[in-house]
Structure formats: C-alpha cells, structure tokens
Amino acid sequence: MSTSTIHDIGYRHYDGRRNGRAYVLRSLYVHSLRAAFGLGRPARAKVMPFILAAIMMLPAAGSVAVFAVTKEEDVLMRYSSYAPTLQVIIAIFLATQAPVLASRELRFHVVPLYFSRPVGHLDFVLAKIAAMTSALFALIAVPVTVLYVGGLVTKVPHSADQLGRYLAALVGCALFALVLAAIGMVVAAFTPRRGFGVAAVIAVFMLSSTLVLVVQGIAESETNFTLSGWAGLFAPFNLVDTVQVRLLNAEKSSVQVAPGLKGGVVALAMCAAIVFGSVAVLYRRFRKAGLS
C-alpha cells in the first residue's frame, strides 16, 4: 500500500507574448538559407558553395568583359540561356546543398526535436523548400543581373528590348530554382546517408538529361522533331526551358522543345505538379520522421 501525493513545486507558465507562425517560418527560412551557403558553419562547409557560385559568375563577367573590348553583340550570352548552359554547375550546387537542408536532421534523428516545439509540419517543409529555392535563385539570377547591368554600362544597343528579356529571364530563373529545388529536396530526403544524397541527386539530373539527349538524337536523325520536343519534358532543365521558349518568348537553348503554346502549357503544368508533389511527399516524409 502506498500513499502518494502530487506536490505543487511551483512550475510557472509562460505568459509572455508568442511570436506566432510567421516568426517560426521566418526563423526556419533564414536558418536554412544560411545553411545552404554554409554560413554559420565551419569554413569546410563554405568552400564548395562559394567556389560553385564563383564559377557561375565567370561566364557572365567574361562575356561582359569581351563585349566591352570588341563591341560585338554576339559575345553576350542570352539571359534565358544562362541556366541551361551552366546546368552542370547548378546541378552540382543543388546536389551538394540539398542534402545539407533535407537529410541532416533525418540522418541524426533530430526531426522530433523540431516538432516538439510549435512548428507545423507544413511550415517546416515550406521553409526548407523556400530556402533552397532562394539559394538557387541567387545562384542563377545574380550572374544574369551582372550580365544585364554590365550590358547597360558598356552600352548595349536596344536597351528597352534588353530590359524586357532580362525580366522574362528572371521569371525563368525563379521557375528553374523552384523546380530544381523541389526535385533535389525530395531525392535528398530519401537518401540520408552521407555522400549518397549528393550522388542520388546528381544521378537523377545526369541520367534524365543523358537519356533525353539520346532519345532526342535518335528522333532528330529520323527528323521526328515533335517526338524530340515532347521527350525534352523529361529532363528538368529542358522542361523549364520549354516554358521559357513557349510562354516567355525566349529563344531555345535546349536541343528541342515541345511544340506550340500547348507544349508550354503542358510544361508549366508539369512544373507545378513537380513542385506540389514534392511538397506533399516531403510533408509525409518529415511527418513520419517526426513521430519516431
């Protein structure tokens, strides 16, 4: 027989102001965005993102410099072709940094610690995707802006025309960033082992682009340009390029893009499906990880 009593040992409730959902979102977003460039972490984590960002700047700076000397308009890269041309570098950046954002907490089983605080599952996922998207957007849009501003300074003809194309390219950059981040985060979230996440993300990009190139090569040799265009929808960079060409009036940078306005609309719908699908998948993934 035991007699037990509950003692009031004077724990106090928190009565202060609560910062709310927006504050949670913003804190997670800022933290993830810093992590995407290795800020707030040892120098070893900063080296690669900044080297890759520097490589991204080189072609823009180089072509502006060459234009300043030669004044030949051809040497300036097209704004909309910047991301497709440098897709390998962008893919490597995504592959190295997506696991930093998406798989570290999973690897060390610390996701439940987040959700023991007032953090919603959806907010957590949205903040992470938004951070990865912003990082990629910065990676792509900064060199494009350098290209545009450099062109203005060195007096490229038709500056009104340039502005239109530049703004369209920025929309394209945002779409690139969104789609790539969505794909990269999902793949990284399912391969938490160190090194595997990087390889898995890059594998998705390399395999899809090589596969599509092979199919397009065969289709073009049979002069079946329609098939070649539709096949392009299955490589991420080619997919977004289709939207750029068909809906944003850019010149094509890929081998072939899906024909007509319909191609553009289908491509845009696929982009939307990828983004929403990835949010849904990540939501389920982190919800499950948060329970264990």
Q: Binding residues for other proteins, per CB under 8 A?
A: 41-42, 44-45, 47-48, 88-89, 91-92, 95-96, 190-191, 193-196, 198-200, 202-203, 206-207, 210-211, 213-214, 217-218
For the CB of residue 93, give the shortest distance to other proteins in the complex, in Å: 9
CB of 126 to other proteins, least distance (A): 26
Q: Residue 77 carries which DSSP code?
A: P
Report the distance separating Cα 79 and Cα 152, nearest Å.
Answer: 13
Question: Are the C-beta atoms of residues 243 and 254 closer than 8 Å to each other?
Answer: no
Q: Which is nearer to other proteins, 10 or 42 (CB)?
A: 42
Supply the minimum distance, in Å, between the C-beta of residue 56 and other proteins.
12
Cα-based angle 89, 95, 100 (whole degrees, multiple of 5): 130
How far is it, in rounded angstroms, from Cα 176 to Cα 13? 47
Residue nearer to other proteins on the CB measure, 23 or 108: 108
Closest distance to other proteins from the beta carbon of 187 (Å): 10
Q: Minimal distance in Å, beta carbon 92 to other proteins?
A: 5
C-alpha–C-alpha distance, residues 139 and 56, integer Å: 7
Q: In the numeric block, which tokens belong to residue 189?
A: 């979230």
- Identity of residue 84: P
The letter for the amino acid at 201 is V
Structure token pair of residue 159: 């500056």
Comparison of 171 and 213: residue with beta carbon closer to other proteins: 213
Q: What would the two tokens of residue 55 be?
A: 């490589």
Instruction: Supply the minimum distance, in Å, between the C-beta of residue 48 and other proteins.
Output: 5
Nearer to other proteins, 61 or 122 (CB): 61
User: Residue 235 or residue 275: which is nearer to other proteins going by CB?
Assistant: 235
Terminal CA-CA length for the chain: 37
User: How many C-beta atoms lie closer than 10 Å to residue 275's C-beta?
Assistant: 18
The vertex-54 CA angle with 126 and 189, nearest 5°, equals 30
Q: Could you tell me the two tokens for 141?
A: 């849009």
- Please identify, using beta-carbon distances, which residue of 228 and 246 lies nearer to other proteins: 228
Write down the least CB distance from residue 88 to other proteins, Å. Answer: 5
**Toward other proteins, which CB reaches closer, 114 or 190?**
190
